[in-house]
Structure 1
Amino acid sequence: SKKLNCDWKANLSFATGVVRITSFNDNHVKHQLSPDTKIFAPVNRQFSDDCCEEIRHLTVNKHNVEGSEASQLLKQLYEYREKDPNWYIEPLVDSISNRLRGIFWMDPATGILPRILMTDEDLSMKYVVAHDLPNTKHLFCLYHLSQNLLKNLRCKLGMQYTDFIKDFYLARNSLSESVFEARFTNLLNNYPAASSYLQKLFLSKESWACAYTFKIFTGGMQSTQRVEGLNNHIKTAINSLSTLLQVMEAIYQRIEHESLSQRFNSWSQDRINYNDNLVLQTVFPQVVQQINKYLTPNLATEQQKQIVQSTIYRAQILN
């Protein structure tokens, strides 16, 4: 009734174990009443699945809850900020309802849009990127692409599926557009059962075929594996009954683990390969500067290992 600004209201009391109506206003305003409601409403009077799931969640976790999930999370974040001033918290409160709408928000720091965005093979995502990020190259994750082939074509092709996969990746890995299109045409002719799916996939060829994607720098990435790994960790750490605070703590623990792992790698490298820093700073100072500028600490460490190893390679001329 608040959403419609209707005056209809019923107050119920359950103080003595019996439901009692303490006040009732049967005056409807600002919206129309349908006589069919009397017929259909009693028949469909039941809780939705989402509502039942919420009831189960609150029933199971009622002994662990002090206030709302958002209040617990906000309290924990303030405790983190007391320990580390770098924690950023900016609660957003609705000026009308005085309800908490958000805890922290990110604003564009530089205004620079991503040049590349890699997602699964989601057509709705493709349209959103094309509309909102017209200058961003949208690529499909190779792992999700292979899983969709398995799901959509394995039963249709049967014993031909193994040969189809070999031919598909032969076409997909072609570096020439003309060669790719010729090999893809052969796929359509040799595997008619997959023709319908392949024709739809061909419409987005610039997002997954090497003939179109190799022209763009991707750092060697072909899948969203790193993000999927984090998602899998979160899924194993929480369940459908987990609170918002527990989700945040699972993510925080993962970040702390990654940070500790990176610190350990740096510490061990400083002690085992005590001459690495000397090699990097004397032979490749400009390269190291660029690596540290553009790469994350973990990736920078891996690149520096490869650079140091390159100084002991033995070159051999092949006829």
Structure 2
Amino acid sequence: MPTNNPKMIITDQDPTMTKAIAHSLPNTFHRYCSWHILEKFSTYLNAITYRDFYKDFRQCIWELECPMEFERKWETIVEKVSLYDNDWLRSIFEMHKRWVPANVNHIFSAGMSSNQRVESSHALFKKYVSKKNLLMDFILQFNRTVAHQHNKDLAADHVDINEKPLLKLPLEMEKQMAKIYTRKIFLKFQDELWQSLITMPQLVRENDTHKVYTVESGPHDGVHRAREIAYDKGSNYASCSFKKFES
């Protein structure tokens, strides 16, 4: 069993759990599940507002990397739609430092933003069972669900063991990772590796202890984004302003 406290815990906004985690794990960052929050937009916005502006809220939440950019964009949307009186929107904004990516990416989460294993299990079983099932029906459907998932896992294992992924680059790193990673994870890694080759870091300043580079990514929605990488010579540690791989 691990002896160190986790760096991050992701839960819903249950107030009792929030108090318990703060008391028992004071050095652990408590992040709120974004899936639970986003699911409630359709409940707390009227149908027309949800249809016309939910996309704007999603872009504001997921695509802005700077906390100040997020806050300005959020205020702009709220003002445009005249949602100042929406108590629920106000409440989730007040807690945005616990769930909005721009505010929580300083803690490495391996891309997780929700208690997704639980939610994916819920979604899976909802396809097969319902509260209307009798006990025997529930048991039969439950077993079918488990068998279906097991077959999917076996199929994925077969692909990982017997099929070699197509390599794009003559790099030893890519060959090595193709042997270690599952197919799904390797394709994500391969895309990151490919993207890294079309960026050019530029040294912008240096002193006795640090080097600072800027790296400009390709256009996303017509916008080029420049990220800053700070390298600490003493600790041999690099930190990126995007914070995708921060630990």
- TM-score scaled by structure 1? 0.45
**Residue equivalent to 2:76:** 186
Residue from 96, 103, 118 that aligns with 1:212: 103
Matched, 1:172 2:54: no
Partner of 1:203: 94
Q: Pick the aligned partner of 2:23 from 123, 127, 131.
A: 131
- Among 20, 27, 33, the alignment partner of 1:141 is 33
Name whichever structure is richer in strand by fraction: 2
2:185 corresponding residue in structure 1: 303
Displacement of 1:197 in angstroms is 2.2
What stretches of structure 1 of length at least 5 have no aligned partner?
1-108, 293-299
Q: Distance in 1 between matches of 2:42 and 2:33?
A: 15
- Matches of 1:224 and 1:269 in 2, distance apart? 26
Q: Is the Cα–Cα contact under 8 Å of residues 139 and 207 in structure 1 kept in the other structure?
A: yes
Deviation at 1:258, TM superposition (A): 4.5
- For the 8 Å contact 1:266–1:301, the answer to whether it is kept is no
Q: Which residue matches 1:228?
A: 119
Note closer, same or farther for the CA distance 1:258–1:133 as it changes in structure 2 (3 Å cut): farther
| Structure 1 position 117, deviation (Å) | 2.2
Query: Structure 1's 261 and 117: CA in aligned 2 closer, same or farther, altered over 3 A?
Result: same
How far off its partner does 1:151 sit? 0.8
Q: Is the 8 A contact 2:13 2:32 kept in 1?
A: yes
- Equivalences for residues 150-161 of structure 1 within 5 A: 150-154=42-46, 159-161=48-50
Amino acid at match of 2:97: E
CA distance in 1, matches of 2:165, 2:79: 60
More helix by share: 1
Aligned AA for 1:186?
T
Aligned to 1:242: 135
1:188–1:194 CA contact under 8 A, matched in 2? no
* CA distance in 2: counterparts of 1:170 and 1:275, whole angstroms: 33
Q: By how many angstroms is 1:220 displaced?
A: 2.0
User: Alpha-carbon deviation of 1:284?
Assistant: 5.4
1:130–1:163 distance in 2 versus 1, CA, 3 Å = farther
1:141-183 Cα deviation digits (max 9, x unpaired): 33321221211222xxx53344442443343232212222222
Q: Could you state the TM-score of these two structures normalised by the residue count of structure 2?
A: 0.56
Partner of 2:10, secondary structure, is strand
Report if the CA contact (8 A) 2:7-2:28 is conserved: yes
Q: 1:30-41 maps to which residues of 2 (within 5 A)?
A: none
Mapped contact 2:8–2:28 kept (Cα < 8 A): yes
- CA distance 1:123–1:172, shift in 2 (3 Å): farther
Instruction: Encode CA deviations 1:189-212: one digit per residue, 9 max, x unaligned.
Output: 342454422221122111222221
CA distance in 2, matches of 1:274, 1:205: 40
Q: What is the alpha-carbon root mean square deviation over aligned residues?
A: 4.3
For 2:234, the equivalent position in structure 1 comes to none
For these two proteins, the number of residue pairs brought into alignment is 192
Choose the corresponding residue for 2:157, options 244, 257, 266: 266
1:185 & 1:194 partners in 2: Cα distance? 13
Q: 1:187 to 1:284 in 2, by over 3 A?
A: closer
User: Percent identical across equivalent pairs?
Assistant: 22
Question: Residue 201 of structure 1 aligns to which amino acid in structure 2?
Answer: I
Task: Tell me by how many angstroms 1:257 deviates.
Answer: 5.4
